[in-house]
Structure 1
Amino acid sequence: MTPSTLTLQNLLPHPTRRQWAGVVLALGLAAGPLAAVAAPTTLKIIPHSNVTVLDPIWTTAYISRNFGYMIYDTLFGTDAKGAIKPQMVDRWSVSKDGKTWTFTLREGLAFHDGKPVTSEDVVASLKRWASRDTFGGQLAKGLAGYETPDAKTFVLKFNEPFGLVLEALGKPSANVPFIMPKRVADTPGDTQIKETVGSGPYMFKADEFRPGDKLVFVKNTAYKPRAEPPSGTTGGKQVHVDRVEWLIIRDAQTQLNALLNGEADILEQPAFEQYATLRSKPEIQLIDAQPAGSQFILRFNHLHPPFNNEKIRRAAMLALGQEAFLKAQVGAPGLMRFCKSMFPCGTPFESSSTGAYTGTADPAKAKALLAEAGYKGEPVVLMRPTDLSAITKLPLVAKQQLEAAGFKVDLQTMDWQTLVARRAKKDLPSAGGWNVFMTSWTASDILNPLTMAMMNASGDKGWFGWQDDPTLQDIKLRFSKAGSDAEKKQLAEQAQLRAFETVSHVPVGQYNQPAAVRQGITGLVPAGAQVYWNIRKP
């Protein structure tokens, strides 16, 4: 019996079976099919990290991107084959000279507060996104302006043709051009938003948010999915559960126990050493939601010594070898791959033209270059997150390899969200800033020079690390105007060679990390990002 029938039965003085049937029938006639109402379905997910930043434009952190996909929608998306498809947009047209793009929003778009999505909301959102995103910034540079002729139409007017408009608007990963209400999107890009109001498939329950413990989302019953089947970040975002809970569990073993005990349905990123156990459990299935893989990288702070010196960055690059990183951090057979290309191996712009970078550690050569560069023994502040199992061992390897080349390394531990906040600071390393951090990027984020945050070499307005390199920026501009795939390939290779020459960052290995999902949970969509529509739970 349901709780409702138990309560009613207790109220009756020992009813007969016939009397009880009459009560149920009467209730059914008076109030609808009460007995047929199912209990709310709750999907429980252990995300890959804690969530402290609820603004997916302010940060490129993937947990904030995943949060964004829960509650916001996008103008376009990228399907499983890499094709750009409309999402919030119904139709669009391009002028003969290629300079004017006109878009019309589809019917029925509304924010969670009940207000319709308008072209002014879209333009404000795009402006804020472009102020933070590498690809968006490149698009904005070519714009003569925006126009909003009516509530459902917005226009992008370019000074000259920009060949990657749809690719920019359909960018599947950080920073994703999510659409927000204008009053929210008018917040400057370097300031975090204070409201979480979207128009997407779920609504965030701010009143149930327990930082460091749990986030709750409920189905947006007013959401109107597209008719197409889901593919990547495109198609119908059908929601088949009533409620989604993100359970913040920082310890990897506790995460695993929660999944195996049925306290959670999905473990987003198991620790690499857990895959052998997971493969032996018949009640668990491994689903790779990001089949193109991800790449580990080491990023320098270009503002402060010692890495404001290009030669010293190059010495550090020569000191780093991928094999040690992959063995220490991944180790699991079949999940790791040596790849010295900045653009992931197996993707269109993969290139073996990497200049001085071999991907193999050469401490002797690094030490000689370090002495030539005049390194003065400044301590290198290397930040290490202790609660993100996917990357927590990387800084330990970096410390060992850098010290073997003669660097003095100050390894500072913290949780991931503290690192995310600290990497945004331009202070001196001795005053709360930093010199080096390590992270990973899903392949969909680093497919070309415009989507790769580490190639944003626009100085103070660039990505954390703040490289200033007009030459690299010019190559990217030419890439955005390229008229053929062959020309794009050539320019992507030029951009990579320039980035290795100036040592924007160092790729230290490629890997895959499938999600662990309990049997019976179906519909997880491979998307190049973690998305949670289309899922069914018995």
Structure 2
Amino acid sequence: MFRRDLLAGAALAATASALARPSLAQPAAARTLKYVPHANLPNIDPFTNTAFVARDHAFLVFDQLYGMNDKFEPQPQMAQGHVVENGGLLWRFTLREGLKFHDGSPVRGRDCIASIRRWGRRDAFGQELLARVADMTEDSDRVFSIRLSRPFPKMLEAFSKVTTSCLFIMPERLANVDPFTNLAEAVGSGPYRFVQNEWVPGSSIAYVRNPDYVPVANGTPSMTAGPKVAHFDRVEWRIIPDASTAAAALQSGEIDWWEQPTADLFPLVARNRNIAVDVINATGLIGIFRPNHLTAPFNNPAVRRAVITAVNQMDFMTAVIGDATVPGYQTLKREGIGFFAPESPSAATVGLDRLKKSIDAARAELQAAGAMGARLVLLNATDLASINAATLVGADLFRRMGFNVDLISADWGTVVQRRASKNALDQGGWSGFFTFWSGVDHWNPASHASIRGHGDAAWPGWPTIPAIEAQRNAWFDAPNDAAAKAATTEMQRIAFEEVPYVPTGMYYQPTAYRRNLTGILKGQPPLFWNVRRA
């Protein structure tokens, strides 16, 4: 059923704008938030770079048409509201008044249309939307329309999603850049401006408060929805790959917030009475091994299934997070994880019996598949403790199975660049890598990029699995919850047969920050509005 839903405008914009101004009585150091992200940012384009660190950077600089609250409900953000007409085939969006990009130009309907097109070329959810778009037109500077060839009731979920790649609105001149070419500048309309000339890849990144930003006038901050009030004049990211150095900087007060303290060090920082340790992402982080479906031996599904037979998810999660706990969590690790987040409505149990934790059975399967002794080029990001720990466990597992493992270690940025290569192994290609997705990334088929099987257009690894795509389409068109659940259950059954990737377990990542910070929002991604210094 479709409804008119034209939401209230920004009547209290002036009040919200006043709230965004920090007190000038504070010293400069107090008006700067210093933060250590989990990884280096080698690429500032939020559409070409699907790494979480690129998304986290983008939420400072860009804004979305709709935000998502902590109940996973879309809320108007840049949009004042929308109407849905013609049986769901016409959506008309109205922008809030006074929206401006950091270069001073107004945000217009044509910027939104160009951004949707660029995003939709790269993102799994966006690709589904564009497949149904008949045309998009700018009706006026503040109004644009999307006409569909068939209904797309999940439009707002697509616009508000926090999974990579998110739909960020950028000026038309940037949105018209080829979606497979990295942007050279980051110009958005968000609460902070990216300071291009202070960006030192591998060292530091700086953002300054956007004085022209007008937060949403009503509601309360909740994840990426509600007023985005910037209480700091500057946000500085410090890239500190060495965990001990980051821990020492947090304890001394040199930094304010360390996004991902390592398992061996977060009990140490938690003993400091000036530091809080908390879990802000309650959906957890799901580990995966992504095989390259284009190159031997993982172009053979029997070889991919052998890896599933061998995997003990708890071995991976223990290496990543250890046995420590934080308040509210008796354990920070989970096993028995399938192809959807365990708390999601898409979760299923079918196929979990294939996780046999048996090296002997896996060796027999590998021998039968003719892949015993096959060479693997395994990529490892040594500057990310979780990925490094999982990769080392995986490399040992693969060797015990009978593979000849060539471990290629580099920083995360280099791994991201290399995994884009479709070359043969002896020409700079790769066999597989370990990584993590937020549980919300695996919440449903729309946001789940790594389960897709659409070949060359898929996430690196490029599986071609038409049966999974058919069930994904069935989920989009499901008439009720039961039909949607049947589709995701069948997707998981097929995934355990065809193995687009191997699930390696789930853990909850604590974050650590100085106790004089307040207002850190729960959810994904780490957010820098609403945070203030007590």
Report the TM-score, using the length of structure 1 for normalisation.
0.91
| Alignment deviations for residues 335-385 of structure 1 (CA, whole Å, 9 cap, x no partner) | 111132221122222211126532x42112211221221226331111111
Cα drift, residue 279 of structure 1: 2.3
Describe the shift of the 1:103–1:36 C-alpha distance in structure 2 as closer, same or farther (beyond 3 A): closer
Counterpart in the other structure of 1:159? 149
Q: State which drifts further: 335-344 or 50-59.
A: 335-344
Match of residue 18 from structure 1: none
From 101, 107, 110, the equivalent of 1:117 is 107
AA of the residue aligned to 2:345: P
Distance 2:275 2:258 in 1: 10
What amino acid is aligned across from residue 174 of structure 1 in structure 2?
Answer: T
For structure 2, list consecutive stretches of 5 or more residues without a partner in the other structure.
Answer: 1-22, 325-330
Aligned to 2:332: 335
CA distances 1:384-428 after superposition (whole Å, capped 9, x unpaired)? 111111221111111121222222211111111110111111111
- The letter for the 2-side match of 1:472 is I
**1:263 aligned residue:** 254
Q: Does 1:232 align with 2:220?
A: no
- Who is 1:351 aligned against? 348
Match of 1:38 in 2: 26
**Greater Rg, structure 1 or structure 2?**
1
CA contact (8 A) 1:163 1:481 kept: no
Code of the aligned partner of 1:272: A
Moved beyond 4 Å, runs of 4+: none
Candidates 34, 45, 48, aligned match of 2:38: 48
Contact 2:65–2:76 (8 Å) recurs in 1? yes
Cα distance in structure 1, aligned partners of 2:390 and 2:463: 23
SS at the partner of 1:517?
Answer: strand
- 2:42 aligned partner, one-letter code: T
Q: Distance in 2 between matches of 1:84 and 1:485?
A: 19
Question: What is the letter of the counterpart of residue 435 of structure 1?
Answer: S
Q: What letter matches 2:340 in structure 1?
A: F
8 A Cα contact 1:320 1:402, kept in partner: no
2:465 counterpart (457, 469, 478): 469
CA–CA separation in structure 2 for the residues paired with 1:471 and 1:144: 26
Contact 2:185–2:196 (8 Å) recurs in 1:
no
Give how far 1:37 is off. Answer: 4.2
Structure 1 counterpart of 2:362, which letter? A
User: 474-483 or 413-422: which moved more?
Assistant: 474-483
Equivalence for 1:325: 316
- Structure-2 separation of matches of 1:516 and 1:55: 27
Equivalent residue number for residue 524 of structure 2: 528
SS of equivalent to 1:391:
helix
Which residue is equivalent to 2:365?
369
Q: Residue 80 of structure 2: SS of its match in structure 1?
A: strand
Give the letter aligned to residue 430 of structure 2: W
- 2:80 is matched with 90
Taking a change above 3 Å as real, the CA distance of residues 114 and 258 of structure 1, as seen in their structure-2 partners, is same
- Which stretch of structure 1 is more off in the superposition, 53-62 or 365-374? 365-374
1:411 matches 2:407: yes
The answer to which of 198-207 and 38-47 deviates more is: 38-47
Q: Measure, in 1, the Cα distance between the counterparts of 2:105 and 2:255.
A: 35
Distance 2:446 2:425 in 1: 29
Deviation per CA, 1:44-78: give whole Å up to 9, x if none: 00111111111111011011010100100001121
Find the partner of 1:385 among 378, 381, 386.
381
Kindly state the Cα deviation for residue 96 of structure 1 after the two structures are TM-superposed: 4.0
Q: CA deviation at 1:114?
A: 0.5
Contact 2:307 2:502 in 1 (8 A): no
**Contact conserved, 2:209 with 2:232, CA < 8 A, in 1?**
yes
> AA paired with 1:263?
E
**What is the rounded CA distance, in whole Å, between the counterparts of 2:425 and 2:51 in structure 1?**
21
Give 1:456 shift.
2.3
1:149-298 equivalence runs, <5 A: 149-227=139-217, 228-298=219-289
Q: Determine what percentage of the aligned residue pairs are the same residue.
A: 37
Displacement, 1:209? 1.4
Looking at structure 1, the residues matched to 387 and 220 of structure 2 have their Cα atoms a distance apart, in angstroms, of: 34
Aligned to 1:421: 417
How far apart, CA to CA, are the structure 2 residues paired with 1:515 and 1:523? 14
Corresponding letter in the other structure for 1:247: R
CA-CA distance at 1:442 after TM superposition: 0.6
1:354 maps to a residue whose letter is G
Structure 2 Cα separation of the partners of residues 141 and 96 of structure 1:
19
Aligned residues: 503
Describe the superposition over 1:301-334 as per-residue Cα deviations: whole angstroms up to 9, x where unpaired.
1111111111111112212110211111211332
Residue 144 in structure 1 maps to residue 134 in structure 2 = yes
Task: Tell me by how many angstroms 1:115 deviates.
Answer: 0.3
Give, in angstroms, the shift of residue 288 of structure 1. 2.0
Find out whether 1:508 has 2:490 as its counterpart: no
| Equivalent pair of 2:336/2:352 in contact (CA under 8 Å) | no
Q: Counterpart of 2:451?
A: 455
The answer to whether the 8 Å contact 1:295/1:511 transfers is yes
Partner of 1:6: none
CA distance in 1, matches of 2:496, 2:372: 24
- Residue 287 of structure 1 deviates from its aligned partner by 2.7
| Residue range with higher mean Cα deviation, 328-337 or 417-426 | 328-337
Q: Structure 1: where are the runs of 5+ without partners?
A: 1-34
